[in-house]
Amino acid sequence: MQGELVAEVQGRVGRVRLNRPRQLHALNTAMCEGMLQALDTWRKDDDVEAVVIDHLPAPDGDPKLSRGFCAGGDIRMLADSGATDGVAARAFFFTEYRLNHRLFTYAKPTVAFMDGVTMGGGVGISQPCRFRVATQNTKLAMPETAIGLFPDVGGGWYLSRLPGRVGQYLALTGHRLDGAECLALGLATHFLPIEHLDEAKQAIAPDPQHIAATLDHFSASAPDAAILSQREAIDRLFASDRLEDVFAALEADESDFARQTLEALRTRSPQAMKISLKLLLESVSVGTFEDEMAMEYAVATRVVQRQDFAEGVRAVIVDKDNAPRWSAATPDAVSDHLIDQIFAPLPASDAWSPE
């Protein structure tokens, strides 16, 4: 019986395969530890020239279980831990962020096949990869503000470096990008039809020195990226790093896009949205990815034990009434002092480290 993570060598490639289909391959601590162990082993193995990350097919091809590359992290565990001493939640973040950093700094080529739902933790293990393959099934998002969290796993780094104010829009709304949009924004390096994925993987295994050429060969022209048609509106409406200003701009705009976006934001945690905006503001000037992860770890360990996270998980995942009662109902009810406290560096004894 295969476990929740399968790490094996195929040809001259180390292959990491996520195998938790009923949870859309959401990561838990043991899976992160297994990936780290495999990466560290292959880093020293001259016979392994590249690493491929994907997911195993669902049992019996069940379409309901075939929708995910990686839907994030183990949110229920984080909520349960956050409601008590937070020890298990901190251990998960510590390990997951080490995995994100290891992939970001990995010397050998890495390839992520983002075929399906790619959210939260799935973004964290795909975006550090040198090659990021999208398909017509890709649905990439950082939807954390809906449950009182923020776009972590390096989300501050990646989103803050997107063109214009697209990163801020994605961070606040949790908007889902399709494969074509990922390619247009640089979140994917290639767009492959799903019928060519297995061929591409089989071609990479014996010849990992030519991954780029292999992926180019199997690539297809992507459809038009719908988000590009809203770039002007996004850049204008999300121009400010103050959440109150974003709301005011949306309220003053009479377009359908502004109205729909405002409706979405009014369901999100104002605290989480303010944290997200500050994260992107800080991240754009962070010098190294290590510094990014240390900052995000400090924020995550505090946010996971705050009321909004417990309430968001209750409303969206447990009771599924989608009616969260946030600690602050409006942006102006979240003080700058609170946000500064959440972003304060941790004591050295509690801080995150890459090794």
Please check the confidence at residue 19 and state whether its pLDDT lies above 90: yes
Rounded Cα distance, 214 and 232, in Å = 35
Alpha helices of 22-113 — where are they, by DSSP H?
Answer: 29-43, 75-82, 87-104
Beta pairing class for 177-178 and 50-55: unpaired
pLDDT of residue 59: 76
Rounded Cα distance, 140 and 119, in Å = 6
Rounded Cα distance, 109 and 92, in Å = 26
| pTM confidence score | 0.96
Mean pLDDT along residues 335-350:
97
The tens digit of pLDDT for each residue in 118-152 reads: 999 999 999 999 999 999 999 999 999 999 999 99
Rounded Cα distance, 167 and 221, in Å = 24
Please, what is the average pLDDT of the chain? 96
pLDDT of residue 213: 98
Residues near 117 by Cβ (< 8 Å), separated by ≥ 6?
Answer: 24, 67, 68, 69, 70, 71, 139
Of 175, 164, 156, 158, the C-alpha closest to 281 is 156
- Catalytic site positions: 73, 121, 144, 152
pLDDT of residue 2: 73
pLDDT of residue 273: 98
Please check the confidence at residue 1 and state whether its pLDDT lies above 50: no
Amino acid at 28: N
| Alpha-carbon 211 to chain mean position | 24
Residue keyed to tokens 């984080």: 78
pLDDT of residue 66: 67
The tens digit of pLDDT for each residue in 231-255 reads: 999 999 999 999 999 999 999 999 9
State the CATH class of domain 5-343.
alpha beta
Please check the confidence at residue 61 and state whether its pLDDT lies above 70: no
pLDDT of residue 67: 84
pLDDT of residue 63: 66
The tens digit of pLDDT for each residue in 70-96 reads: 999 999 999 999 999 999 999 999 999
> Among 64-78, 88-102, 189-203, whose mean pLDDT is lowest?
64-78
Rounded Cα distance, 171 and 100, in Å = 19
DSSP of 130-187: SEEEE-TT-EEE--GGGGT----TTHHHHHHTSSTTHHHHHHHH-PPEEHHHHHHHTS
Q: Show the 3-state SS of 204-261.
A: HCCCHHHHHHHHHHHCCCCCCCHHHHHHHHHHHHCCCCCHHHHHHHHHHCCCHHHHHH
| Alpha-carbon 184 to chain mean position | 18
Rounded Cα distance, 132 and 59, in Å = 25
The tens digit of pLDDT for each residue in 216-227 reads: 999 999 999 999
Are the C-beta atoms of residues 190 and 133 closer than 8 Å to each other?
yes
